[in-house]
Amino acid sequence: MKSDLISLADHPPDILQGVLALAAELKSESRRGTGRRPLVGRTLAMIFEKPSLRTRVTFETGISQLGGGAIYLAPQDIQLGARETVGDIARNLSRWVDLIVARTFRHELLVELAREASVPVINGLTDLLHPCQVLADCQTLEERFGRLAGLKVAFIGDGNNVVNSWLNAAVAFDLDFRLACPAGYEPDARILAAARASGRGRITLVEDPREASRDADALYTDVWTSMGQEAETQARRLAFAGYQLNSQLLAVAAPHAVVMHCLPAHRGEEIAADVLDGPRSVVLEQAENRLHAQKAVMIWLNGTVRAAA
Ligand code: CP
Ligand code: NVA
């Protein structure tokens, strides 16, 4: 039976913990120059409706390091759902390639792509979720602290796609996750309710960034205006004015706290430049770990193929 990575919530914690363990092994193998190549002859199709630096480059580099190849399909190339149906695209690609990664606006479109494809589909970000980012972030935290369970992660800002994946990660990895966001910018209500009902992890929503940051092991932020929300930029600047990750917030976190951002960042908006570029920042470790975590995801999902109907 084929498996997809649409949401971290679709997979049991032990599987996701195994993926992180594999990611750590792949990273140390690659540092020693002894990287394995289990995907020789495999092809990854990469469908992008939105821009990307990290996701595109790490998937393309990752499959090539594992012995395979990638084909990048820009929005104008296939025009998902416009030039032909999502189902037709999924069924055609499934006859040629072994894996698909897609970055879409509507989450439902990715779900449909996965349903119609007989090869594994990986979520490279949708308006709802960004699971590959948060897997790499958890790898980064595990490296730094030697464990994940019980870590206090404070996210300051918008309850967006990255936050929704953090809620799932709090369940999978038993985190103490705090979100400080203004009223009206909370995360997805269903994802929040399911995470709270899981009985795993701890989830706290507050409006005050200082309250969320107190004693935190990690302070995290992301842009106030995500891709596709550009028309709301001014309103969001006003709503998030008190939500900058800066040295005052860092001062209330634990003395060993790290600063995280999925990037791209806007210095002087959601994060102060001295904090983003300062000694506590692990943003480049996060970016590097996208490569290792996604190589682990591709190895995990490869070979889980559904028979063509
Ligand atoms: N963090 C992240 O997903 O970056 P890109 O949008 O550049 O892929
Ligand atoms: N929340 C951001 C993440 C970018 C990696 C966005 O969706 O634009």
Question: For the chain, which residues make up each domain, given as ranges?
Answer: 8-130+290-302, 133-286
Which of the following is catalytic: 158, 181, 222, 292? 222
CA 227 to mean position of chain CA atoms: 14
User: What is the residue with the minimal CA distance to atom 2 of ligand 1?
Assistant: 54
| CATH architecture label of 133-286 | 3-Layer(aba) Sandwich (3.40)
Q: Let me know if 262 is a catalytic residue.
A: yes
Closest CA to 104 of 82, 86, 85, 127: 127
- For residue 57, the model assigns a pLDDT of 98
Q: Which residues have a Cβ under 8 Å from the Cβ of 242 and sit 6 or more positions away?
A: 182, 209
Can you give the pTM of this predicted structure?
0.97
Q: Which of 48, 49, 52 to mutate to test the pocket of ligand 1 (most atoms within 8 A of CB)?
A: 52
Topology match between the domains 8-130+290-302 and 133-286: yes
- For residue 82, the model assigns a pLDDT of 87
Burial of 250 (0-12, 13-18, 19+ CB in 10 A): buried
Atom of ligand 1 nearest to the CA of 227: 6
- Residue 102, phi then psi, degrees to nearest 5: -135, 140
- For residue 1, the model assigns a pLDDT of 86
Q: Let me know if 222 is a catalytic residue.
A: yes
Ligand 2 centroid – CA 127 distance (Å): 8
| CATH architecture label of 8-130+290-302 | 3-Layer(aba) Sandwich (3.40)
165 ligand 1 Cβ < 6 A: no
Reduce the secondary structure of the chain to three states and give it as a string: CCCCECCHHHCCHHHHHHHHHHHHHHHHHHHHCCCCCCCCCCEEEEEECCCCCHHHHHHHHHHHHCCCEEEEECHHHHCECCCECHHHHHHHHHHHCCEEEEECCCHHHHHHHHHHCCCCEEECCCCCCCHHHHHHHHHHHHHHHCCCCCCEEEEECCCCHHHHHHHHHHHHHCCEEEEECCCCCCCCHHHHHHHHHCCCCEEEEECCHHHHHCCCCEEEECCCCCCCCHHHHHHHHHHCCCCCECHHHHHHCCCCCEEEECCCCCECCCECHHHHCCCCECHHHHHHHHHHHHHHHHHHHCCCCCCCC
- For residue 305, the model assigns a pLDDT of 65
Ligand 2 centroid – CA 173 distance (Å): 22
- Residue 6, phi then psi, degrees to nearest 5: -95, -45
- Looking at all shown ligands, the one closest to residue 221's CA atom is 2
53 ligand 1 Cβ < 6 A: yes
Chunk the chain into consecutive blocks of 10 residues (it has 309) and report each block's average pLDDT, rounded to whole numbers: 96 97 97 94 97 98 98 91 93 97 98 98 98 99 98 98 98 98 98 97 98 98 98 98 98 98 98 98 98 98 70
- For residue 78, the model assigns a pLDDT of 87
Q: Which residues have a Cβ under 8 Å from the Cβ of 191 and sit 6 or more positions away?
A: 9, 128, 164, 167, 168
- Looking at all shown ligands, the one closest to residue 51's CA atom is 1
- For residue 39, the model assigns a pLDDT of 97
- For residue 307, the model assigns a pLDDT of 58
